[in-house]
Structure 1
Amino acid sequence: MIKLRVFPLFFNIEWKHLGQRLLDAKYNEEEARGFIVTDISDKQIMATYYEKIIYLEIVHHPVRGDFEITREVFFKTDIILFKKICFIVNPSRRFSGLLIFIANKTEAQVSIRDCRFNIPAFCDLGFRLFDEFNVTKVVYKQFNVTDSLKCSAAFSCDNNVFNEIGSVRLNIPAMPSRITFAGIINKTIMKGDISETGLISLSSANIDCFVDFINKNQDSLIIC
C-alpha cells in the first residue's frame, strides 16, 4: 500500500521562483540533506527530500573491548507540490524537518495546515466520475446514540455500504471518519482507504491520476 497525506499549502513566493530554489537546494554531503527534483512544470513539482542521519554506537566486544562504530541512515520523503495543496508520499515523523528546510532554502513563508477531507463529497464525485465505483466499508467515530449513550461504528458489505446504512436506526453523523473504496479512474484500478484527516492509502502504485483528481477537485474535497 502507498500512503499519501494531503495538506493545504501556501507560499508567499512566485511559483517559478519556488521551483528554481528547490532545484538549487539539491542534496549535498556538506549539509547532509536536500532535494532531488524529478519533475517541474507550471502546475506541479515532484521531488524527493533526503536527509542523512549519523549514529555513533558503542559496541561491547568480549575480546576487543568497547569501541565506536558509525552508522549512516538515509531518510527520504517524496513530495508532490501544487499551487494550493501538497501530497506527502509515505509520510514519516521527520516531516517537520522537511518543512523547515523548505522554508530556509526558499526564504519564503511556508504555511501548511491540517485539513479535513470531505468524504461525502469524494463519494459523490466517485460515483459520478469513476467507473465501477463502490464503497465497501465506512467507519464513524464516537457519536451520540442517546443523550447519555455514545458509540463508534463500522459498517461493511460487498455492495455500496451507504445503500444499507439507511435501514440502520441510529443517528449516524453526516461525516464518516474513514471509508474503504474501489473504482477505476483513467483505466487505472484504485482501491484504498481515505480518512477525514487527509490520510489516504492506495493499493495501486500508479498514484498520478488519483493525485491529479484530488488536485482538480480540491475546492470540494479539502476543508480548512
Structure 2
Amino acid sequence: MIRAKLFPYSFASNWEDLQKMLDSARYTNEEFRGIKINDYSKKKIKATYYEKIIYTEKIDDPVNGIIELDRYTFFSTSFIIYSNHIILIINPSRRASTIITYLLSKTKLQFTVSDCKLNIISTTNMLNTLFEKFMTVKISYNQFNISDSLKCTMSLASSKDVQEAIKCININLPQIPSKLCFTALFLGMPIRGEIHENGTVAISHPSYEVILDKIASRREDIFKE
C-alpha cells in the first residue's frame, strides 16, 4: 500500500522559477543532499530527494581482527509539486520534514508550506465521484465527550457501508472523523484506501499515481479551511 502526505504551499514567484529553483538544488557531495527532477510539465514536477548517510561498520577480519570501515548509503524519497499549490510526498516516513526544510532553505523564504489537516468528509465525497462501488468500511474518531464526565475514542467497522450504519447509533459522534478506510473499484480493479486527518492518504492499487493526481487536483475539496 502506497502512502502519501499532502501539504498546501505558496510560492512568491512563478512556476518556471520554482522549476529553476529545484533544478539548482540538485545533489552535491558538499551538502550530502539534493534534488533530482524526474519529470516536468505545466501541471506538476516529479522529483526525488536524496540524502547521503555515512556510518561506520565493524567487521571481524580473519587477519586483522575487528576493524572499522566507513560505509555510506542514500535515502531517497519521491515527491510531486503541483501547480495548484500542493506538495505530495510519497511514503514520507521521517523524510517529510527533511524535504520541506531543504526546500525552504533553497527558496529564500519565498516558499512556505502549511501542515493542514484534511477534511475527511469532503475528500470522501470527492472520491465517491471518482470510483465505482465506493464503500466506507471503517471510521475512527479522536477522543470526544459522550457526557460531561465520560470521554471516548471510537472506531467503527462494518462489512457494509459504515456511514449508513452509524445513522442508527444513538450517540452524538463528531461531525468529522480522524481516519476513514474505504474500498472501491477503479479502472475495473479493486482498490483499498485510507484517509487520515493528518494529511496522509494510503492507496492499494497499481495506478496509485493516477489516483493521487486526481486527489491533488481538487485542492478546494480536501483541506480544512
TM-score of the two chains, using structure 2 as the length reference:
0.89
Which residue of the partner structure matches residue 103 of structure 2? 102
Residue 122 of structure 1 deviates from its aligned partner by 1.9
**Pairing 1:194–2:202 present:** no
3-state SS of 1:117 partner: coil
3-state SS of 1:46 partner: strand
**Pairing 1:181–2:169 present:** no
Structure 2 spans left out of the alignment, 5+ residues? none
**Pairing 1:74–2:85 present:** no
Alpha-carbon displacement from aligned partner over 1:139-185 (angstroms, at most 9, x marks no partner)? 11211111101111111112211111111111111111111112234
Write the mapping of 1:6-21 to structure 2, written as runs, cut at 5 A: 6-21=6-21
Aligned AA for 1:48?
T
Write the mapping of 1:58-73 to structure 2, written as runs, cut at 5 A: 58=58, 64-73=64-73
Alpha carbons of 1:98 and 1:125: their partners in 2 closer, same or farther (altered >3 Å)?
closer
Q: Percent identity?
A: 35
Tell me the C-alpha RMSD between the 2 structures: 2.1
Residue 66 of structure 1 deviates from its aligned partner by 4.6
**Pairing 1:214–2:209 present:** no
3-state SS of 2:52 partner: strand
Moved more, 96-105 or 111-120: 96-105
Whole-Å separation in 1 of the counterparts to 2:28 and 2:76: 14
Which residue of the partner structure matches residue 93 of structure 1? 94
Whole-Å separation in 2 of the counterparts to 1:73 and 1:108: 30
Which residue of the partner structure matches residue 53 of structure 2? 53
Alpha carbons of 1:220 and 1:21: their partners in 2 closer, same or farther (altered >3 Å)?
same
Residue 187 of structure 1 deviates from its aligned partner by 4.8
Alpha carbons of 1:127 and 1:99: their partners in 2 closer, same or farther (altered >3 Å)?
closer
Whole-Å separation in 2 of the counterparts to 1:93 and 1:107: 24
Which residue of the partner structure matches residue 126 of structure 2? 125
Residue 93 of structure 1 deviates from its aligned partner by 1.5
Residue 22 of structure 1 deviates from its aligned partner by 1.4
Equivalences, count: 224
Alpha-carbon displacement from aligned partner over 1:173-222 (angstroms, at most 9, x marks no partner)? 11111111122345554311111111111112422222222222211211
Alpha carbons of 1:160 and 1:79: their partners in 2 closer, same or farther (altered >3 Å)?
same
**Pairing 1:150–2:151 present:** yes
Whole-Å separation in 1 of the counterparts to 2:16 and 2:130: 32
Whole-Å separation in 2 of the counterparts to 1:91 and 1:73: 18
Contact 1:22 1:106 in 2 (8 A): no
Moved more, 55-64 or 124-133: 55-64
Residue 36 of structure 1 deviates from its aligned partner by 1.9
3-state SS of 1:175 partner: coil
Aligned AA for 1:51?
E
Contact 1:186 1:209 in 2 (8 A): no
Contact 1:45 1:82 in 2 (8 A): yes
Whole-Å separation in 1 of the counterparts to 2:204 and 2:94: 22
Aligned AA for 1:17?
D
Whole-Å separation in 2 of the counterparts to 1:25 and 1:188: 39
Whole-Å separation in 2 of the counterparts to 1:102 and 1:128: 34
Aligned AA for 2:153?
S
